[in-house]
Amino acid sequence: MSDIFQQLSGVQRDAVQTTEGPVMVLAGAGSGKTRVITYRIANLIESRNAAPHQILALTFTNKAANEMRQRVEQLLYQGSTRGLWIGTFHSVFARILRNYIHLIGYTSNFSIYDSDDSKSLIRQVMKDLGISTDSVAPNTVQSLISRAKNDFVLPAQFHRDAADYNRGKAAKVYEVYTQRLKENNALDFDDLLLKPLELFREVPAVLEQLQEYFRYILIDEYQDTNKAQYLVAKQLCARHRNIFVVGDDAQSIYSWRGADISNILNFTDDYPDAKVFKLLENYRSTRTILRAANGVISRNSRQIRKDLVSNKGDGEPLSLLESFNEKREADKVGEMIRSLKLSQQREYRDFAIFYRTNAQSRVLEDILRMHRIPYRIFGSISFYKRKEIKDAIAYLRFIQNDQDTESLLRIINFPPRKIGDKSIQQLTEYSRVRGTSLYEAIKVAESGGFQARLLNALGAFSDLVEKLKLVALEGSVYDVLNSLYEETGLLRLLKEENTAESLARHENLQELLSMAREFSDHHQGANGLCEFMNDIALASDREAAEETDNYVSLMTVHAAKGLEFPVVFITGLEERLFPLNCFENEELEEERRLFYVAVTRAREKLFLSWSKSRYLYGQPQACIRSMFIDEIDSDIIENEGGSTLSESRVPRQMSNGRPCVPQVPPGPTKRPAGPQDGLKKGVRVQHAMFGPGVVRRVQGSGSSRKVVITFRNSGDKTLMVEYANLKIMP
């Protein structure tokens, strides 16, 4: 084993060989954290500090767990991990529960419900409680219950703390849902984290047994743990106190999943005698790229300070691409990829394009296809294959051709109209008997003897289709799509659902609306819808291009974590996009951490790209360059002319009609301030996302000033005045 230690750096070796007591390894991006945690496991076994079964290593993915096990076996010998507890939090806790859950009223053969099973049971509970799915979406209820479980909030406390309508309804469902799960001898995915805590509380002897059994506990990606995971780990290690956590607070980007950055920030408060090791040598990126990353993340106040270093040389400066709109931005990215491929003999697989939201992929995909550049969407599916996009396009296709039964069957229950499969079968048979299309049968269904409830639903559907047909005759593609959204309430429903999935679908539908608006601005005439559908059909057809393993990778920044590429493009670097709308300082700091993750994926070359205008919500919007660009030292960023920003003094574009201002020098930067002087109780304001509202309270002063506003559609919100960009209404 001593020979193997020679492969470790000094600080890595110290961390691996510090076997007793609490240890935290702060592993900066690309600094070899997986090596440290696997070498530590191997050292514990080889040195006979612990038998394999006394070691518990927790990860977040099966892939990471398998890689960890394989590396340990390579360091020691085949079979050396037999008995070793390595797995995801969920899989390990499920294994523990199989052995002990009978002590809290379940049997060991309990079922584990996936998301669909869970949602189905929630729907049934809502039905039994008389809670309409029109008043609160089952997805919203499921999301609220899931977040509560991850925060170790039980039904009684959740009910006490419910502060708004949705939470009030969810609290009622949560209580009955929990009872139904137990009656079914079932756990949902979140219960695998929650039930161990209930078990330890109700049967302390089990906790004592496990505390003795697990002498060493190791946790990977500690910055991503939620409260339930934190509590289980803290209780399990209480006897021997040999807890070893590896993570990077600068890469904590999953608060929307329940991850709590305070777990890693407060580790030394939980364990005052903890030894802390910082892995600062990055084996991935050039010094210039790390200088950019260090400069940006240093602006965060909630952090453990560390500066990454590299021995890979300075490398090239960062390049700034500035475009007049998102289509030209995508075009520049495509041109740059083709140029670098030829001039530097690079492969397409060397390139990655990042964006903040899934909806941004649409323009990039269109342009890459035009350039005949092969690409793949990582962690998602291509824009035109996303369900909500295919559903909306099916409406347009059906309006164009109401004989299209396939499109009809796709849209008849989008959004849900409670027209079941049995009713559709009856309607299909009715159309065959009459010798008409299915849509013609729907329009004359009153003569078919169908139930009144079905007739009402069919009437509403056909009325919608006919109305949209009229809009298509008199208006543009944008008018048709906008009318579809308004008549069906699609965007409102997705926004009210307020889950990560529904908000992503909302963004995608908005992007389709932006696409329709841009098309309509350049294509006038009666054949607009037909031409629009032709363009989409051709784009979708090009997606079925020849398969290859040499392609450009497209992905959101969240999906990029853990990956690396020689050349990276970060696109859409504009205020309110990246950083996304932020109303609290904590949100802004997480956006900054997300940008840090994006920057540190690049090994050799990094491009930063932004547009002066962009279609958002179906309308062209002027944009402000992202503050994150201005937080990087200007002397390491080249513009397209070849000079650095410090030499060219490129002005920062403003979107509010005021003159452009000079490049901001290194140091703290701020967003354009809102109308702070006029904010006081009773003032009516307008917010870009939440709409109209009334100020209820103003707190603090200066950059810490906050305002509490009651919005007509979103209830009470507490916003940072500096970032909210509020408009005072007359």
Report how far residue 77's alpha carbon sits from residue 214's, in angstroms, rounded to the nearest whole number: 22
Per DSSP, the chain holds a count of helices (H) and strands (E) of 31, 24
The answer to whether 29 is a known ligand-binding residue is yes
Report how far residue 487's alpha carbon sits from residue 548's, in angstroms, rounded to the nearest whole number: 42
With vertex at residue 274, the alpha carbon angle to CA 273 and CA 275, rounded to the nearest 5 degrees, is: 120
Nearest to 368 by CA among 551, 541, 537, 546: 551
Report how far residue 21's alpha carbon sits from residue 271's, in angstroms, rounded to the nearest whole number: 9
Task: For residue 389, give both structure tokens.
Answer: 């996009």
Decide: helix, strand or coil at residue 603.
strand
The answer to whether 600 is a known ligand-binding residue is no
Residue 354 backbone class (left: φ over 0; alpha: ψ -120 to 50; beta: rest):
beta
The answer to whether 28 is a known ligand-binding residue is yes
The answer to whether 30 is a known ligand-binding residue is yes
Task: For residue 98, give both structure tokens.
Answer: 């199989």
Q: Which residues are tagged catalytic?
A: 33-34, 220-221, 251, 601
Residue 353: beta bridge partners? Answer: 554, 569
Find where tokens 């995971």 sit: 229
Assess whether the previous peptide bond of 155 is cis (omega < 30° from 0).
no
Per 3-state DSSP, what percentage of the chain is helix, strand, and coil (rounded to 5)? 50, 15, 30
The answer to whether 18 is a known ligand-binding residue is no
Give the long-range contacts of residues 10-19, CB within 8 A, separation 24 or more.
Answer: 11/277, 11/278, 11/279, 11/280, 12/36, 12/39, 12/279, 14/277, 15/40, 15/277, 15/279, 16/40, 16/43, 17/43, 18/275, 18/277, 19/43, 19/44, 19/47, 19/49, 19/216, 19/242
User: How many angstroms separate the most distant Cα atoms in the chain?
Assistant: 87
Task: For residue 114, give both structure tokens.
Answer: 């996936």
Q: Phi, psi (5° rounding) for residue 684?
A: -85, 135
The answer to whether 10 is a known ligand-binding residue is no
Q: Cα separations (Å) of 344 from 351, 609, 690?
A: 12, 21, 48
The answer to whether 195 is a known ligand-binding residue is no
Q: Cα separations (Å) of 718 from 578, 695, 708?
A: 21, 10, 4
Helix 387-400 to helix 500-522 angle (10° resolution) is: 40
Report how far residue 136's alpha carbon sits from residue 155's, in angstroms, rounded to the nearest whole number: 18
Would you tell me how many other CB atoms lie within 10 Å of the CB of residue 418?
Answer: 10
Task: For residue 521, give both structure tokens.
Answer: 């601005």
With vertex at residue 430, the alpha carbon angle to CA 429 and CA 432, rounded to the nearest 5 degrees, is: 65
The answer to whether 32 is a known ligand-binding residue is yes
Residue 692: beta bridge partners? Answer: 686
639 neighbors 690 (Cβ within 8 angstroms)? no
In angstroms, the first-to-last Cα distance of the chain is 75
Residue 477: beta bridge partners? Answer: none
Would you tell me how many other CB atoms lie within 10 Å of the CB of residue 538?
Answer: 10
Given the DSSP bridges, would you call strands 55-59 and 318-323 parallel, antiparallel or unpaired? unpaired
Report how far residue 462's alpha carbon sits from residue 441's, in angstroms, rounded to the nearest whole number: 11
Residue 313 backbone class (left: φ over 0; alpha: ψ -120 to 50; beta: rest):
left
Rg (CA), the chain: 28
Residue type, 238: A
Annotated binding site for ATP: 27-34
Annotated binding site: 27-34
